[in-house]
A = this chain, B = another copy of it.
Amino acid sequence: MRILVDVMGGDLPPAELVRGGIAAGRELDIEIGFVGVPAVIRSALDEESIKEGSRFSIIPATQVISMDDAPVRAVREKRDSSLLKGIIALGNGHGDGFVSPGNTGAVVVGSILTLGRIRGVPRPGIATTLPTVDDGVVVVIDVGATVDPTPRHLLYFALMGGSYARDVLGVRTPRIGLLNIGTEKSKGNKLVQHAFTLLQQSSLPFAGSVEGHNILTAHPVDVVVCDGFVGNVFLKTLEGGTSAVVHLLRAGVGRGGMRTKLGGLLLRPVFRHLRHQLSYQRHGGAPLLGVNGVVVIGHGRSDARAIAAAIGVAKRAAEVGLNKRIAQGIEGWGKVGS
């Protein structure tokens, strides 16, 4: 098993991502292919006293796609970028999965154009995993690959997200919910109302509509299906809500007197644990589902630990044959006529 890692396109320096790759390679007992400028990667390997070889190899790339690059243009013009070279290497069978903390739009466009879609999948979706307060997880799909989907696209997000939750994350029978603004069937915009009907008619374990205020606390479903624009807003707003509370709390303790300061000191371990619970980085990358290959998108600010977690996600997806299972699920649909 070899996972390819784009070490150039993230916000953090390549050496940090190489460290994450080495750690994951050792811990998971797999090969890692680092994609990027060879001299930079070699120097990072040297620092860790690692020799280039089959265990830790280098796939050379001279260009970098930055976070601000327009995706379609970047994919077209930066053919020798680490992001695209990684996807091309994956497509050529030089790896079992690819991880990039780079420009999400470019990963999506590059993957569709280079790897193609899984037979039957109309559009890919990015599936992110969030921790719930009961120590479980919830998968949200799509969080940004397809921003103007049709109701039918949402149906395929549901199938792919359910397969990911079951086959990779180990949720036995994932309940699927539709992100909406009320739980009654009449609620929502046209897209969501139509998708509701399609989901109800499908063979998927559809549990109805869910709302943003209790997804992490009540854990009503295991997979939340939404339009990529809405899913991205959802994700960022969740972060906004939590960071607002943390801000206010810190300010409250800072403003207080001796008693408050002492209280803050005594609760320090609780605050530290809270920060750890809220750190989505732990949960690693978000797979781009629906393309012909295991592609995992890491957060732009991914550090060594986050990139190692994303590599773990790619490894599991590759070893359970997630894409084959998705393809089988779609074939099964064909037969039952839904």
The interface-forming segment of A78-86, A258-266, A302-310 is A258-266
Contacts of A244 in B (CB 8 A): 133, 216-217, 238, 241-242
Is B189 within 8 A of A247, CB to CB?
no
User: Once bound together, how far apart are the Cα atoms of A259 and B211, in whole Å?
Assistant: 37
Question: Interface residues of A, CB < 8 Å — how many?
Answer: 60
Specify which chain B residues have a CB less than 8 angstroms from the CB of A230 in the assembled complex: 229-230, 233
> B68, B179, B251, B263: which contacts A265 (Cβ < 8 A)?
B263
Q: Is there contact, CB below 8 Å, between B189 and A148? A: yes
Contact A240 B266, beta carbon cutoff 8 Å: no
Docked Cα-Cα span, A236 to B216, in Å, equals 12
The verdict on A278 contacting chain B, using a C-beta distance below 8 Å, is yes
Return the chain B residue nearest A254 by Cβ. B270
Asked if A113 lies at the interface with its beta carbon under 8 angstroms from chain B, I say no
B contact residues around A217 at 8 Å (CB): 240, 243-244, 247
Contact A233 B236 (CB under 8 A): no
Central interface residue in A188, A233, A278, by most chain B CB within 10 Å? A233
**B residues in contact with A237, CB < 8 Å:** 212-213, 233-234, 237-238, 241
**What CA separation (Å) do A230 and B259 show in the bound complex?**
42
A125 to B123, CA, bound (A): 32
0/1 string, A170-210, CB within 8 A of B gives 1: 00000000010100101011101000000000000000000
How far apart are A193's CB and chain B's nearest CB, in angstroms? Answer: 9
CB neighbours (8 Å) of A212 from chain B are 233-240
Cβ of A297 to closest chain B Cβ, rounded Å: 14
Q: Is A23 an interface residue (CB 8 A)?
A: no
Measured between C-beta atoms, what is the minimum distance from A184 to chain B in Å? 7
Residues of B within 8 A of A239 (CB): 212-213, 241
8 contacts between A and B (CB under 8 A): A147-B188, A212-B239, A213-B243, A233-B233, A238-B241, A241-B241, A241-B242, A262-B263
Residues of chain A having any CB pair with chain B under 8 Å:
68, 70, 133, 144, 147-148, 179, 181, 184, 186, 188-190, 192, 211-217, 227, 229-230, 232-249, 251-253, 256, 259-260, 262-267, 269-270, 273-274, 277-278
